[in-house]
Amino acid sequence: MPSKTKKPKASWKLSPALESTAQVDIATRYKNYIDGSWVAPSEGKYFPTKNPATGKKLSEVAKSTQPDVDLAVKAARKAYDEVWSQITPRERGKYLFRIARLIQERAREFAIIETLDGGKPIRESRDVDIPLAANHFFYYAGWADKLEYAFPNRKVAPIGVAGQIIPWNFPLLMAAWKIAPALATGNTVVLKPAETTPLTALKLAELFSDAGLPDGVVNIVTGDGTTGAELANHPGVDKIAFTGSTEVGKSIQKSAAGSNKRLTLELGGKAANIILEDAPIDQAVEGVVNGIYFNQGHVCCAGSRLFVQESVYEEVIQKLKQRIDTLIVGDPLDKNTDIGAINSREQLKTIQKYIKIGIKEGADLYQPECELSTVGSWCPPTLFTNVAQSSVIAQEEIFGPVLAAQTFRTVPEVIEKANNTPYGLAAGVWCDKGARLFQLTNALDAGVVWGNTYNQFDPTSPFGGYKESGFGREGGLHGLSAYLHTSSH
Ligand code: NAP
Ligand code: MG
């Protein structure tokens, strides 16, 4: 039976600490950014982008179709042939440094828009998304004129026009992950942001103009999945970089088969967070909370499965429930908020469907008692215990603040259980012994394994998956090679 325990009454309450939106400039309508200008979509249609915390419309953006994508790809090709492949690598680097500095200068505005459009807590967009996006531009700016050192004894050449399609969970950061290495290596770009979170990518276009980036080097076309498919299928695109669901990734892979297009896919995940009996328990519990409730669980590498060694299971679950009770679900613009709004109604329905499945499968549900706003989309932090390895909530990606906990007795057992998933994006291991940590990190089929920490990101570190989590790496040196042809001299 689902149980709801009473939230212990806090002896103190935090006063709201709302971030002001006074300085934020959001236009009532955005056209596409093509060849350095704002261009109306060929069919003249627009669709709204909403604030998921209030359900209110923030702006409207172009609904792009094939002719718009075609125009953007042609602009990118022209810019590649006539400008971007002609200037020196050092010049390219200068533009990237300029963009990085401009993001830093306007970081507050970007953070607020990210929170308004996507629903994530301002603390996170301010401290994670925007600084990391700037850092990616800084990092790849540094590589632009040093590619011969990145690939010693190899000849490198850009690929050409990159079509980039990104999801809604880290809108500006995903744009930075894709645009920065593409430009540093001499490629030009057509980017399609997600339908529900297009605004920071469009603000980034404003900033490209401010930076004096030559026209057509980056083009941004908004739209839905059909726009994304038009971009992926366009014959003028030489490389596709896609981050999103495994289902769409597979369809892109099929359509790219037989073409000359290079492809990288960053797809879904079902990461395991593993707590061994000698782990620092308080630290591990905090890491688990950060791993799944951070960003409403809208994280491809979210630690959505928890494995706890039997001898410490009771203690971990008790501490975890206590910590869950203190999490603040509420206005994303409030600096006290831990868990913001679910990105869209559709995503909320998906999460609720999985919670129902978990209950039906016989797992024990734990949710804190918290008042949720009646407008907007919200989900309390959710913990399932007594979860079977075969259960749907332990196998499928939920992409919400829902954690499925299981126990294990031995290390070989947890390795087998953790690897028993079609995904292979990330994992976390909590234990005191370095040798054990390395044993586990080597045995886990995951692109990233964090030891005694979780969700740490850095531009120098490659990120990507195994199995159905995709292929190719973003970040670090590996992220450069995804945008280059390399050959021997
Ligand atoms: P999604 O539905 O696959 O969408 C991703 C992007 O692709 C969006 O821009 C989407 O447009 C577009 N798209 C939809 N259908 C398309 C098609 N047939 N052809 C080309 N493009 C298409 O994924 P999502 O729901 O936005 O994002 C959540 C997923 O992304 C999760 O599975 C998560 O694990 C994954 N993710 C992975 C990583 C990683 O690095 N591995 C990082 C972040 C997220 P619309 O927005 O209009 O639908
Ligand atoms: Mg929105």
Domains belonging to the chain, first-starting first, are 4-15+269-451 (3.40.309.10), 31-267+469-488 (3.40.605.10)
CB 73 within 8 A of CB 110: no
pLDDT digits (tens, 9 = 90+) for 379-412: 999 999 999 999 999 999 999 999 999 999 999 9
114 is catalytic: no
Instruction: State the closest ligand 1 atom to the C-alpha of 268, by its place in the atom list counted from 1.
Output: 34
Q: Is 233 in the pocket of ligand 1 (CB under 6 A)?
A: no
Pure H helices in 153-272: 171-184, 199-210, 225-233, 246-256
Choice among 19, 124, 300, 431 that is catalytic: 300
* Run of H or E residues at 426: strand 426-430
Q: Produce one character per residue of 17-48: b if its CB has 16 or more CB atoms within 10 Å, e if not.
A: eebeeeebebeeebbbbbbbebbebbeeebee
If one counts every other C-beta atom within 10 angstroms of the C-beta of residue 286, the result is 16
Q: How far is the CA of 343 from the centre of ligand 2 (A)?
A: 7
State the ligand closest to the CA atom of 51: 2
Give the span between the Cα atoms of 332 and 340, in whole angstroms.
Answer: 5
pLDDT digits (tens, 9 = 90+) for 259-303: 989 999 999 999 999 999 999 999 999 999 999 998 899 999 999
Q: How far is the CA of 163 from the centre of ligand 1 (A)?
A: 14
Inter-CA distances, 96 with 135, 179, 181, 190, 476, Å: 11, 10, 10, 17, 16
Q: Produce one character per residue of 358-368: b if its CB has 16 or more CB atoms within 10 Å, e if not.
A: beebebbbbbb
Ligand 1 mutation target, pool 169, 421, 457, most atoms within 8 A of CB: 169
- Any idea how long the chain is? 489
Choice among 19, 114, 124, 266 that is catalytic: 266
Nearest to 53 by CA among 299, 343, 352, 399: 343
pLDDT of residue 2: 42
Give the span between the Cα atoms of 463 and 373, in whole angstroms.
Answer: 36
Q: How far is the CA of 165 from the centre of ligand 1 (A)?
A: 8
Taking the C-alpha atoms of 460, 466, 468 and 474 in order, what is their torsion angle to the nearest 10 degrees? Answer: 20
Residues with CB under 5 Å of ion ligand 2 are 49-50, 117, 196
pLDDT of residue 12: 63
Q: Is 425 in the pocket of ligand 1 (CB under 6 A)?
A: yes
Q: Is 462 in the pocket of ligand 1 (CB under 6 A)?
A: no
CB 315 within 8 A of CB 323: no
Tokens 């309508």 appear where? 29
Residues of the chain scoring pLDDT < 50: 1-6, 8-9
300 is catalytic: yes
* Run of H or E residues at 141: helix 130-143
pTM above 0.85, yes or no: yes
Q: Is 167 in the pocket of ligand 1 (CB under 6 A)?
A: yes
**What tokens appear for 358 in the block?**
């978990």
**What DSSP line would sit under 29-76, residue for residue?**
EE-EEETTEEE--TT--EEEEE-TTT--EEEEEE---HHHHHHHHHHH
Residue type, 265: L
